[in-house]
Amino acid sequence: MKRKISIVGVPMWLGQTRYGTNLGPQGIRCAGLMERLKGVGQDVVDEGNLPIGITGCFRQSGENIKNVKTLVDSSEKLAAKVSNIIQEGRFPLVLGGDHSIAMGTLAGVAKHYKNVGVIWYDAHADMNTPETSPTGNIHGMPLAASMGLGHSALTNIGGYQGKVKPEHIVLIGARDVDKGEQQLIEEKHIKMYTANDVKRLGMEVVIAETVRYLSERCDGIHLSFDVDGIDPAEFPGVGTPVADGLSYKESLQAVRLLAAAENLISAEFVEVNPLLDKDDMTARLTVNLIGALFGETAKSKQVQRTDRKRSAEAI
């Protein structure tokens, strides 16, 4: 499906404590993102990176939450940017940055949709609040905040609460869920496919059930793809690796299946850390995933390589 795509980078690392995810957007770009999307006929514009602060107070006094002001300020900017992109009739493709940026993305998307569905592809549930978080890192809180749970500064991003309803969320690939998050998942009856569930059922079944489940309830689906959902043996450039994850092959199958979903309205890819990567493997494979989400196939990749070779020979 041909889309009008607007890329926006969010060079944020303060949702956690490992420097480097702020370099993720440029790392993904340098791995050939624009060329690949244009190669499959997409109408794509790169709107650059949001100008955001990269330093902040490490921890709020007396509260189990870090860098609140900087993250709220950046999330407000992202929410406005994403909202404008949708208003222009384009598809927001957001490049992170750590997963805290999802608060801004969802705040911008939910202004235009009454019932946003969210596919949270991640090793973690990211549903902590300051009361349940073992670290105070905000990249472990964006989904809870988007549901209206947690610190008021986070839940009110965009000027309103409740961007997404619990029954409109599907977790895929989870395998490192904190006790408070597990309790919330059970209380709110949030749909979850663990990494083991995916292995047992197969990715084709998981995606088919997910799309059907959300399509029956929602007027649009947002994909929030954290690359640490993939096993770190294949995706080493992440700050919070968790063993026994989904494979790259399974993940490629997932995005290819989602490419056919007509109600996919926005997407973000987060947590690429070039400083922890090996030979740019994580950035390059992330570009493969994004390309597949927008219709790239093995055949179209081969055509692009052939065209580049012919151009080089002509020069």
Give dist(CA 265, CA 236) in Å, integer: 29
User: Could you identify the residue written with the tokens 């009856």?
Assistant: 189
Question: Domains (ranges, CATH) in the chain?
Answer: 4-314 (3.40.800.10)
Question: Could you tell me where the DSSP H helices lie in the chain?
Answer: 24-30, 33-39, 68-87, 102-110, 142-146, 152-155, 179-188, 195-201, 203-215, 248-258, 281-293, 298-314
> How far is 33 from 283, CA to CA, in rounded Å?
10
Q: What is the pLDDT of residue 306?
A: 46
Q: Model pTM?
A: 0.94
Q: Which of 141, 138, 122, 148 is nearest to 245 (CA)?
A: 122
pLDDT digits (tens, 9 = 90+) for 181-240: 999 999 999 999 999 999 999 999 999 999 999 999 999 999 999 999 999 999 999 999
Q: How confident is the model at residue 63 (pLDDT cuts 50, 70, 90)?
A: confident
Q: 246 — phi, psi (to 5°)?
A: -70, 150
CA pair distance 136, 131, nearest whole angstrom: 9
3 closest CA partner among 223, 185, 191: 223
**Active-site residues: which are they?**
99, 122, 124, 126, 139, 226, 228, 271
Q: What is the mean pLDDT of residues 170-185?
A: 98
- pLDDT of the residue at 311: 40
